Amino acid sequence: MRTSKACLMIVAGERSGEVYGAALARALRTRASSIVIFGCGGEAMRQAGVETVVDAHQIALIGISEVLAGLPRAWRALSRLTREAARRRPNGAVLIDFPDFNLRLARRLKRLGVPVIYFVSPQVWAWRAGRLTELRATIRKMLCIFDFEKEIYQQAGIPVEFVGHPLMDLAGVESSREEFFARAGLKAGVPTVALLPGSRMSEVVHHLPRMLEAATEIAARRPLQFVLSAAPALDMPRLESLMRRRYAGAAPLRRVTGMTHGALEHSTLAIVASGTATLEAAMCERPMIVVYRVSPATAWFARRLVKVPFYSMVNLLAAREVVPELIQNDFSAKNLARQAEFLLNHPEAREKMVEGLRGVKGRLGPGGAIERAAEAVWRELELGGASLSAA
C-alpha cells in the first residue's frame, strides 16, 4: 500500500546520469522535503538522499563484450528494481539515459502501472530509431536536453519537453587558477594538457594507455605538464598502476579527482574521451582532441548501425568538425601526439577552435535545466497531490 508521502523512483546507470539524478532529487526536495526517493545510482545520488537499492557501478557497461560479461548483474539489478517498484508502488519513475537497461525497465514499470518520465533522450537520431516506437508505448513524457531532439519526438507522437542541458547549471569553477594548480601539485605558469580517459574503468583501459604513451612522446620534446582527471568511481589502484606502467615522460603527471571542471578550465589543451566531458570542455571553451576506442566486436557492430557523420556531440551540434576526432584505429599514441603538438604549437588553431566551441555552447540552452526538469516531473506525476492523500 502506498503511503501518504510522495514516492519516486530515479534510475541512472552512468556517472553523468547519476549526477543529474542527484541534482533532480535535491530540486524535488525543495518542493517536498518528505518525498521518498529510491532507485539506482551512485555516491552522488546517495549524498542527495536517494536510497540506491541498486548501485550503478555494478551495471555500467559500454560495448558488446562488456555487456555480455555483465548480463547476469544487469538482470539481477533489473529484477531488484522491478520488485521494489511493485512493493513500494511509487507515484512514478524518472529514468535517466542508459537506454539498454532503462528501456527494459520502462516496459516492466508500464505493466505495473507506474508512469515513466524519461530524462536525457537515447540517441535515436544516431542509431536504433526503432526505439521511438517503444518509447511511445512505455513512457508518459520525454525530457530532452538538446534542442533538435524536440522535433524528433513531436513527429513520433511522444509528449516531449526541451529542458536544456544540465551541465549549464552543474559545471562550475571549483577554484581559482592558482588554487587549482596548488591542489594538483603543478605549476600555474606551465602549459598543461588535461587527460580525461572516461568515467568507467572499461573506457579507461581502452583509452589511457595510448594517452600516456602520447604524453611520454610529447614530454620528450617540450616543457609542459599533465593533469589526469579521474572519475570518483574508478578503480584507483588499477588506474595508478596504468599510470606507472605506461607513462615514462620527464614532465609532471598528476591525478586529480572531483576537479574535472577545474582541469578543463585551467588547461591549455584537453584530450577527452567522447562523451559528456566533451560538452563540459566546450563550455570551458577548451581546445580539445576527442578520442574513443572500444573492443573490435563492438566497433564492428557500431560501424553498421551508427548513422551520423561525427562521433562527438561537439561536432554533431556544430554540424561540422570543430574538434579533431581520433576514433578506433585512428586513435594511436603516434596520431594523438602529432595532433596535440600541432595544437600546442599553433595558438591560432586553438583560437579558431574556441570560436567554434562558443557556437556549441549556445545550443545547450540558457541554464536552469534541472529546475525545469524537476517542475515537469512534479507536474506530470502530480507529486504535490500525492503528499495529501494516501492511495
184-214: pLDDT as tens digits:
999 999 999 999 999 889 899 999 999 999 9
283-300: pLDDT as tens digits:
999 999 999 998 777 767
Cα distance between residue 342 and residue 338, in whole Å: 6
| Grid cell in block for residue 199 | 568515467
- Residue 263 has a pLDDT of 96
What sign results for the dihedral spanned by CA atoms 309, 314, 319, 323?
negative
Burial zone of 1 (CB within 10 Å; 0-12 exposed, 13-18 middle, 19+ buried): exposed
31-66: pLDDT as tens digits:
999 999 999 999 999 999 999 999 998 786 544 445
CA angle 196, 227, 14 (to 5 degrees): 30
Percent of the chain with pLDDT over 90: 79
Contact 350, 287 (CB under 8 A): yes
| Grid cell in block for residue 228 | 589526469
Amino acid sitting at position 202: S
- Residue 388 has a pLDDT of 44
Contact 257, 15 (CB under 8 A): no
SS (H, E, C) 116-140: EEEECCCCCCCCCCCHHHHHHHHCC
Radius of gyration of the chain (CA): 21
Percent of the chain with pLDDT over 70: 92
- Residue 62 has a pLDDT of 46
DSSP single-letter state for residue 309: S
Contact 39, 69 (CB under 8 A): no
Mean pLDDT, range 351-364, rounded to an integer: 94
| Grid cell in block for residue 299 | 566497433
- Residue 386 has a pLDDT of 63
Would you say residue 173 has pLDDT above 70? no
Amino acid sitting at position 268: T
85-111: pLDDT as tens digits:
999 999 999 999 999 999 999 999 999
Give the phi and the psi of residue 168 in degrees, each rounded to 5.
-60, -25
Cell 584507483, located at residue: 236
Count other Cβ atoms within 10 Å, centred on residue 379: 12
- Residue 301 has a pLDDT of 66
Would you say residue 122 has pLDDT above 80? yes
Cα distance between residue 309 and residue 77, in whole Å: 35
For every residue of 232-272, DSSP letters joined together read: TTS-HHHHHHHHHHH---SS-EEEEES-HHHHHHH-SEEEE
Would you say residue 309 has pLDDT above 90? no
66-80: pLDDT as tens digits:
554 567 888 999 999
Would you say residue 384 has pLDDT above 90? no
- Residue 329 has a pLDDT of 93
Domains plus CATH for the chain?
7-165+366-386 (3.40.50.2000), 177-361 (3.40.50.2000)
Burial zone of 317 (CB within 10 Å; 0-12 exposed, 13-18 middle, 19+ buried): buried
DSSP single-letter state for residue 93: E
Q: What is the average pLDDT score of the chain? A: 91
The DSSP bridge pattern shows strands 7-12 and 253-257 to be unpaired
Contact 369, 166 (CB under 8 A): yes
CA distances from 50 to 136, 289, 376 (A): 28, 36, 19
